[in-house]
């Protein structure tokens, strides 16, 4: 059992003071008795006052001692062993690693290098890494964990091959957009996807109507229930192929094509298409009809 030195020293101090004072009074009174004289009131007051001052001085000394002892105790408690310091450093490093990993999961990787300018390609134009960089740039509106990001990322694998002459114009526009990033000689320039189509029209709708690319991208996908969290990938691929053929039609409730046109809008699109030489519906015709209905 450890000794409480603080309490022992304090108690001993008080006992010593009281004992010394009592003994002094005893000697003083003894001397007075031997001289057959009584102690006067003034002398008694003087003795008492000396006793009081002595006691107060000792109490102050004890308080100073206690404060010093308390500071020493705190310093002793705060001092850590080398093993404890090493453990603290290791725990801080582990905490920092966990925070860095969390940020890496929740935040998209920066696409651009600070000294390269906007849209600068960092990899070989024909590499898979270059295509991943392009997708991250195009999907910068979303974080990788968002459902629209994952859906569009899947749709980048659904290549768009025009089946009518009118859609060749759209394909060329989207190829030119890719060539600005990859350069004209890259294999990725001509591999236009359904994701490119969705983002292209979402940007046009934002330009004409406002509300942002995020809003119109969500509108296009959710209106047709094109979501990898709700549909099987094969089902989505089949629906997209019908949209490319411009035969995607739901009768109840009536929806036609990528913009889910109403029945009267569908009839207008067919009427305009019949005025063309090939009499074919195109993505641009569907877009124009949808835009007219929104303005």
Residue 2 has pLDDT above 60, yes or no: no
User: Which of 62-66, 69-73, 108-112, 273-277 is the least confident region?
Assistant: 108-112
Token readout for 116 is 């390269």
Is 258 exposed, middle or buried, given 0-12, 13-18 or 19+ CB atoms closer than 10 A?
buried
At 45, is the pLDDT very low, low, confident or very high (cuts 50, 70, 90)? low
Residue 59 has pLDDT above 80, yes or no: no
228 or 208, greater pLDDT: 208
pLDDT above 70 covers a percentage of the chain that reads 65
Q: What is the reported pLDDT for 295?
A: 81
Residue 112 has pLDDT above 50, yes or no: no
32 or 114, greater pLDDT: 32
Q: How does pLDDT run across 180-193, given as a tens digit for each residue? A: 999 999 999 999 99
Residue 80 has pLDDT above 50, yes or no: yes
At 205, is the pLDDT very low, low, confident or very high (cuts 50, 70, 90)? very high
> For 158-219, what is the HEC assignment?
CECCCCCHHHHHHHHHHHHHHHHHHCCCCCCCCCCEHHHHHHHHHHHHHHHHCCCHHHHHHH
Residue 18 has pLDDT above 50, yes or no: no
Q: Kindly report the pTM of this predicted structure.
A: 0.60
φ, ψ dihedrals at 114, nearest 5° = -60, -30
At 43, is the pLDDT very low, low, confident or very high (cuts 50, 70, 90)? low
Q: What is the mean pLDDT of the chain?
A: 79
Segment 151-173 mean pLDDT = 95
């Amino acid at each position: 059992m450890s000794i409480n030195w603080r309490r022992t020293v304090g108690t001993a101090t008080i006992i010593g003071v009281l004992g010394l004072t009592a003994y002094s009074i005893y000697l003083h009174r003894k001397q007075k008795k031997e001289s057959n004289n009584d102690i006067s009131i003034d002398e008694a007051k003087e003795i008492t006052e000396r006793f009081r001052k002595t006691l107060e001085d000792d109490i102050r000394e004890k308080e100073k001692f206690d404060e010093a002892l308390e500071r020493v105790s705190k310093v002793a408690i705060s001092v850590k062993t080398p093993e404890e310091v090493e453990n603290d450093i290791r725990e801080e490093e582990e905490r920092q690693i966990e925070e860095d990993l969390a940020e890496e999961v929740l935040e998209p990787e920066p696409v651009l290098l600070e000294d390269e300018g906007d849209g600068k390609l960092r990899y070989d134009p024909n590499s898979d890494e270059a295509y991943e960089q392009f997708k991250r740039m195009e999907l910068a509106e979303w974080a990788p964990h968002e459902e629209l990001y994952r859906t569009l990322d899947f749709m980048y694998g659904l290549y768009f091959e025009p089946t009518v002459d009118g859609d060749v114009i759209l394909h060329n526009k989207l190829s030119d957009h890719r060539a600005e990033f990859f350069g004209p000689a890259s294999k990725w320039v001509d591999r236009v996807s359904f994701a490119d189509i969705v983002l292209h029209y979402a940007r046009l709708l934002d330009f004409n109507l406002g509300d942002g690319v995020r809003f119109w991208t969500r509108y296009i996908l959710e209106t047709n229930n094109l979501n990898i969290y709700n549909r099987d990938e094969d089902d989505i691929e089949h629906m997209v192929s019908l949209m490319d053929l411009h035969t995607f039609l739901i009768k109840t409730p009536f929806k036609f094509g990528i913009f889910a046109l109403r029945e009267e809008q569908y009839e207008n699109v067919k009427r305009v298409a019949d005025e063309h030489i090939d009499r074919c519906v195109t993505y641009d015709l569907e877009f124009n009809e949808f835009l007219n209905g929104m303005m």
